[in-house]
Amino acid sequence: MTHQIKQIAIVGGGVIGAGWAARFMLAGLDVAVFDLDPETERKTGAVIANAARATARLHGEALPTPGKITYHTSLAEAVANADFVQESLPEREDLKQRVLAQIDAAMPAHCVIGSSTSGLLPTQLARDMARPDRLVVGHPFNPVYLLPLVEICGGAKTSQATKDIAHALYTSVGMKPLHVRKEIDGFIADRLLEAVWREALWLIEDDIATAAEIDDAIRFGAGMRWAFMGTFLTYRLAGGEAGMKHFLSQFGPALKLPWTKLIAPELTDELADKIAAQSDEQAGGVDLRTYEKLRDNCLVDIMHALEKNDFASGAVAKAYRASLTGGATNEGSHLGQGILLGRSAEVQPDWIDYNDHLTEWAYLKLFGEATDTVLAAIGAGPAHVAAGYSYYTAETHIRYLGQAKLGEKLELRSRVLGVDAKRLHIFHEMFSLGQNAVIATGEHMALHSDAKAGKSCPAPDSIRAIAQGLADAAQGLPLPDGAGRKIAMPS
C-alpha cells in the first residue's frame, strides 16, 4: 500500500457494517462508523463484544491493542480522515449510487472505497462517482470478524492500484481475498449459495423436507467437507485413483436427470409463513446473541482444527497470527549462570482447554521439550540416542502456579541441579513474558540407560562433565523455589 492505512470509515452500521467495524478495530485500526439509526452504537457494541470474545479464542494474546471507534451521524465527518471506506448499505442500487458519490466527494484524495454489496455490479455502483477508479467490491461473509473470505471485484474503471490496496488491507486483517475475474451478478460464492437456497425453497414448498431437515442434510454431510475442500477437490477424491475425469464419467450422466429446480418458487405469503414457522421451531426459543456465540465457538474450533493441519481457513488464521507475533524466539541459548533457555514458544490453539487456558498435558509437553534441549546441550541429544543410549525420565513433579492463554509468549528456563554417574536432576521454570511471572515449574530426575540392554548405565564422562559445568555455573544462585518439594497433605 502506497499510503499506510490507519483510519477506516464504515458507512452503514447494520450486521455487516458492525462486523467490519469489529474486524478492523480488533486488528488495531481506528474506525469511524456512520449510520443514522440512533441504536447503532448499542447494536455495534454488542457485535464487537461477541467479536472480541471470539477472536480472543482464535488468536489469544497475539492480537494487537484494539483501535478506537467513534460514531457519527454526518457522512462527511465520518469519511473526512479515512484511508479506506467500507460501504455496507442495504442492497439498493440507487441508494448505493447516491451515497457512494457523496463519499467520493468528501473523502481524501488517497482514499479507496470497498463496497460490501453481495451482488450489485461495481461499474453501475460507481456511475455517479467523480473518481470511479477508487471503488472496488469487497464482499465479505457473516460473521465478518471470523470468516476470512472476501470477494474483490473491480468495475470497468476500477484501477489496479485500488484493487491492490483493497487486497493488501484485507490480507493484513487476516482475510482471504478472492479475485473475481469478471463482473457478474452475485459474484462467485453467492451464486453457489443461491443455487442451494433455491433448491431448499422447493423442498419446503413441496413438503419434502423441513428447514431443520435441510440444514441437517448440509451440516452432517457435505458442509463438513466444504469447510476445507470445497466442491471440486471433494469430487476429485470421490473419483478415486483415476481422479476427476473418472468422477465426471461416472456421475456426469446424472446431470441430465431432472433432480433440481434452479428457478426459485414464487415466494408467496404462504411459503414465507411456512418457512418462518419452521425456522422458529428449529431455533427452539434460543435468542440471537446466544446463537451467535454458539456459531462463533464452532467456527473457532473448526479453524483451530484446520490450523493443526495448516489447511484452508486454518492456514489463513495461522498466517495472520504469525504476522502479528513475528513467531517464536530462539531456543537452547544460554541465559547466564548455567541457566538455559530450554524452550520458547507461543501458546498454540491445540494447547488450550475448554476454559481457553493452557491445558494440563501441554505443560508436560513443554517441559519435556525443554528437557530435550538440555540433553542436546550436554551432548545427549539425537546422535547419542541413535547410538543406543538415552536419559529416560524416572520422576516428574509439576507445579501449576498460573494460567496462560492462546498466543501468550512463554519461555522455559532450565537449570541442572545435580548430576552423578547415572542420574541427571533438572529444574524448569515456565515464564510468561506477558505476565512477567513464573506460571509453572517442572522438576525431573532422568536416568541414563542403555536402550538395547533395557537397563541403566553410567553416562559418558564427556556428557557428565558438561552437565556438571552447568550445575557448577549456577551454584551462586539460590535453589529454585519448589525444588525438592513433594506432594503431601498438611499434617
Task: Give mean pLDDT, residues 132-151.
Answer: 98
Query: Coil, helix or strand for 96?
Result: helix
133 exposed, middle or buried (CB, 10 Å; 0-12, 13-18, 19+)?
A: middle
**Residues of 219-241 as b/e, b for ≥16 C-beta within 10 angstroms?**
eeeeeeeebbeeeeeebbeebee
Task: Give mean pLDDT, residues 107-112.
Answer: 97
The DSSP line for 312-345 is HHHHHHHHHHHHHH------S-EEETTEEEEEEE
pTM as predicted = 0.77
Mean pLDDT (the chain) is 93
Percent of the chain with pLDDT over 70: 97
Classify residue 148 as left (phi > 0), alpha (psi -120 to 50) or beta: alpha
Identify the CA nearest to 146 among candidates 347, 392, 388, 313.
313
The predicted structure's pLDDT at residue 334: 67
Residue 329 has pLDDT above 50, yes or no: no
CB atoms within 10 A of CB 258: 5
CB atoms within 10 A of CB 154: 23
Q: 486488528: which residue's cell?
A: 27
Task: Give mean pLDDT, residues 107-131.
Answer: 97
Amino acid at 227: A
Q: Which CATH class is domain 7-187?
A: alpha beta
Task: Give mean pLDDT, residues 110-130.
Answer: 98
Task: Give mean pLDDT, residues 182-195.
Answer: 96
At the topology level, CATH places domain 190-285 in N-(1-d-carboxylethyl)-l-norvaline Dehydrogenase; domain 2 (1.10.1040)
Residues with Cβ within 8 Å of residue 383, at least 6 apart in sequence: none
Which of 86-95, 256-265, 299-308 reaches the highest mean pLDDT? 86-95
Better-scored residue on pLDDT, 236 or 355 = 236
Rounded to whole angstroms, how far apart are CA atoms 431 and 428? 9
Residue 196 has pLDDT above 90, yes or no: yes
Residue ranges, CATH 3.10.129.10, the chain: 334-473
- Please give the radius of gyration of the chain, using alpha carbons only, rounded to the nearest integer: 29
285 alpha-carbon distance from chain centroid: 30
Better-scored residue on pLDDT, 263 or 161 = 161
> In the structure grid, which three cell numbers stand for residue 153, read together?
471485484
Residue 326 has pLDDT above 70, yes or no: no
Residue 147 has pLDDT above 80, yes or no: yes
Residue-wise pLDDT for 454-465, tens only, equals 999 999 999 999
At the topology level, CATH places domain 334-473 in Thiol Ester Dehydrase; Chain A (3.10.129)
Better-scored residue on pLDDT, 59 or 106 = 106
Q: 419 pairs with which residues across the strands?
A: 424
Better-scored residue on pLDDT, 192 or 486 = 192
Residue ranges, CATH 1.10.1040.10, the chain: 190-285
